[in-house]
Chains A and B, each alone.
Chain A
Amino acid sequence: MDNTILKQIKQGDKRAFSLLVDRFQKPLFSYLGKMGLSQAIAEEVAQETFIRAWQAREKFDPARAAVITWLFTIARRLAINEFQRAMHRYERVNNHQSLEEYADEASHASLSNQEQHQLLSYALSKLPVDDRSLVALAYIKEFEFSAISEIENIPVGTVKSRLYRIRQQLKTTLNGGQ
Chain B
Amino acid sequence: MNKQTNKAFTDSELDELLHISASATPPEHFTQQVMASINALPQTIQNRPTWWQWLALTLGGVPAIMQTLAFMFSAWHVAAIG
Contacts and interface: CB of A to CB of B under 8 A. Distances in A.
B24 A109 contact: no
Contacts of B30: 21, 25, 43, 46-47
B22 A120 contact: yes
Given A18-B31, A51-B34, A171 B9 contact: yes
Given A120-B17, A171-B14, A47 B34 contact: yes
Nearest to B39: A14
Contacts, number: 103
Nearest to A24: B26
Given A46-B26, A107-B5, A107-B7, A174 B14 contact: yes
Contacts of B68: none
A21 B34 CA distance: 8
Interface of B: 4-9, 11, 13-15, 17-19, 21-27, 30-31, 33-35, 37-39, 41, 44, 46
